[in-house]
Amino acid sequence: MPSMGSQHGDITTRLLTAVANHVYEHKLGRVLEGQTGFRLGTDHCFAPDISFVSKERFKLIYVSEGRYFSAPPDLAVEVLSASDSITKTERKLQLYLAHGSRLAWMVHPKSKSVRVYRPDGSSEVLSGNQHLTGNSVLPGFRLSLHRLFEEI
């Protein structure tokens, strides 16, 4: 698999750190990075860039002898790299939701925006001075998009 590049790594790390700090401070569950696989039925196994599994679901879906979880995460996050297809990434996020994820985010570094997807089929694009929130999946989580995309 080709390298994703420094911008992808930087934004993924910023978001993972913010989510993980919130999750562990409030004892909500586990945050996992992009090497962790989630099986969606018998046909698909994906590894989102960032995922969150609630403490209630962790023991139910963790496969102790395997290298993956037996169901999707509560939150699946994909950070687009230059080589990623928006259409394919969106299909993948919709598969997570169709199999039980409760929230999905597609982070678009080039446009400095985040598309938020919900299981009911609704979505919204956040940009500019807006904040990314965790809704009921990550209660109390709030991150300024300006902070996520700020340049050094």
pLDDT in tens, 131-147: 999 999 999 999 999 99
**In the predicted model, what is the mean pLDDT of residues 95-106?**
96
Domain boundaries, the chain: 6-149
Cα separation of 5 and 135, whole Å? 30
What helix, strand, coil percent values describe the chain, rounded to 5?
30, 35, 35
In this prediction, residue 97 carries a pLDDT of: 97
* 124 phi, psi to nearest 5 deg: -150, 150
In this prediction, residue 62 carries a pLDDT of: 82
Enter the DSSP assignment of 62.
Answer: B
* 47 phi, psi to nearest 5 deg: -130, 95
Cα separation of 131 and 126, whole Å? 7
CATH 3.40.50.1970 fits 6-149, yes or no: no
